[in-house]
Structure 1
Amino acid sequence: MGALLSVLLSKGDDTGVNFNDLQIDFENAKPTPAEQANYDEVNDVLREAPQILALLQRYEGNSDLIRKAISNPGPATENEAWKSLLPAVTKLRDFYEFSGKIEGSLPKVLGLLCAGDVEDNLRHHQATARQLVDILHFATRFDDIKMSKPAIQNDFSYYRRSLSKMKMNQSPTQPLPVTDELASRMSLFYAHSGPMLKTITDCTTHFVTVNQSATPNLSQLVSSCLGIMSLVSYNAVAKDRVSSPEMVAYCLRVCIGCSVLYDHIDKDGAFAKVGLINIRAQIKLIQERAGDERENLLNALRYTTKHLGDDSTPKSVKLMLGV
């Protein structure tokens, strides 16, 4: 992830939070023996992420053929639309199934980083910390691209409407890419404005819930992990530790992804006046440095957080976000 990123927070810092000097080398960090097994499993999943994003970016949709089939219904137009939809829906199924792989990987990362002293874990398991930010970056990037592809929901809605009728004509040797049961789950996934970020939010919430009895303070540990990583990414941009547009966008995505998750896990949320997240500073940084990514990142705060609408959220924050 470029050069060494570090967070050096002291009294008077814009974040208002104190930590020891924590340095995380996202570019060259190597897994320690203690994290190697988990690292390898998660890495196998993350290797697929660039291809998933590339396929999503190239998704063109079948709007013309669907429109033709609806305006001029009949075997010829409907079969043409259906035949074109099958490979597209196969891709949508693959994207959805990859979200399940991310859902299976994230608890492995959180389990290692959030056991005991979080700051110490981040210091000594930097390869796993890098995987956490890679997951968050992927999720925010996936959702940005998905929001620019209205054809996804149009295609899948038409597929579901046509499924009962067209599967009767489907050759037994060519099974349907998505069954009725799977289609229902996928429909819920794609209906969300930020489906991948919602997936990791739900996964993190579930991780805390199922392990709370064994680790009563797990929620606080996860909040600390997300808060620290958000600060690392914030300071990488705010203190000009990264300079290329690609790295600035990367760090801002990670910063906001951590803050969204923090808002769902921490009892006071990311918009509280006291906590690890200075949301006003983050919004200001996005407005100043995010460029073309500005609205996408602000939308993540507007539409995927939990506590923005609370009465306790400062009016100044709501005003900054235009809500």
Structure 2
Amino acid sequence: MAATRTENALRSLLEALTSPPYAPTQHLEREQALAKQFAEILHFTLSFDELKMTHPAIQNDFSYYRRTISRNRINNLQVRGQCCVPPLAQRWSPLGDSQNKTLPIEDTTDCLSTMACVCRVMLETPEYRSRFTNTETLLFCMRVMVGVIILYDHVHPVGAFAKTSKIDMKGCIKVLKDQPSTSTEGLLNALRYTTRHLNDDTTSKQIRALLQ
């Protein structure tokens, strides 16, 4: 299934970016091609979810596609679930399953928080922003930032919104809200509705207010 393939791809890349003997930050510096591939998956994931939210007819198109595949009985091709690409939370929740022992939590969250920090700094620093050649590059950076936040929130036991989080959530939300709403509303909704810990008691009222 698409969900399993996506989970396996994310897990494999995270394992490669957190395996000994290097620290996650060293992996990101040494293995930029892997980091870029990981970022591309997050970018596609968020962009597809935004597309579904703004074009509800896409679900009908996939339903028609599934019926067509079923009628034609194409061998070795299965389309299951509500969509070929399952919802964001459905794809990533298993990575945070308490029974999953393959990912070292500390190294994984270090990797994800570092990526979130890099994206935030690039978005909020005029010198770096000036290097973005087009709107799509800006959207790519924002989607990757939101993607690693959501993944961090699913992987870490207390999530991304707690005071002990390694991610500057206030800074990340602020940099999103400083962009045109047409570009970021879908990403803010992803933080609102596909994270696990936003409504936990450990989340400050200020962060909840920022996402209202």
1:260 is matched with which residue? 150
2:27 is matched with which residue? 121
Q: What percentage of aligned pairs have identical amino acids?
A: 34
Equivalence map 1:60-209=2 (5 Å): 99-116=3-20, 117-154=23-60, 174-175=72-73, 185-187=80-82, 189=83, 195-205=86-96, 209=100
Counterpart contact for 1:198–1:304, Cα < 8 Å: yes
Residues 115 and 102 of structure 1: is their aligned pair in 2 closer, same or farther, counting only changes over 3 Å? same
- Total equivalences in the alignment: 205
1:237 is matched with which residue? 123
Deviations 1:103-150 (A, max 9, x none): 332222111101132112112111111111111111101111111221
- Give the gaps of 5 or more residues in structure 2: none
Q: Distance in 2 between matches of 1:157 and 1:125?
A: 39
1:227 is matched with which residue? 113
Higher-RCO chain (CA-CA 8 Å, sequence separation at least 6): 2
CA drift of 1:259 comes to 0.5
Q: Distance in 1 between matches of 2:16 and 2:108?
A: 11
**SS of equivalent to 1:211:** coil
Residues 130 and 178 of structure 1: is their aligned pair in 2 closer, same or farther, counting only changes over 3 Å? closer
Deviations 1:278-317 (A, max 9, x none): 1111111111125421211100100100001112211111
Residues 268 and 176 of structure 1: is their aligned pair in 2 closer, same or farther, counting only changes over 3 Å? same
1:321 is matched with which residue? 211
Q: TM-score, normalised by structure 2?
A: 0.82
**SS of equivalent to 1:195:** coil
Deviations 1:243-265 (A, max 9, x none): 34222211111111110111111
RMSD: 3.0
**SS of equivalent to 2:81:** helix
1:37 is matched with which residue? none
From 190, 196, 199, the counterpart of 1:300: 190
Q: Distance in 2 between matches of 1:251 and 1:233?
A: 6
Deviations 1:198-237 (A, max 9, x none): 354135335981426xxxxx11111111100011111111
Residues 271 and 206 of structure 1: is their aligned pair in 2 closer, same or farther, counting only changes over 3 Å? closer
Larger radius of gyration: 1
**SS of equivalent to 1:305:** coil
Q: TM-score, normalised by structure 1?
A: 0.56
- Give the gaps of 5 or more residues in structure 1: 1-96, 213-217
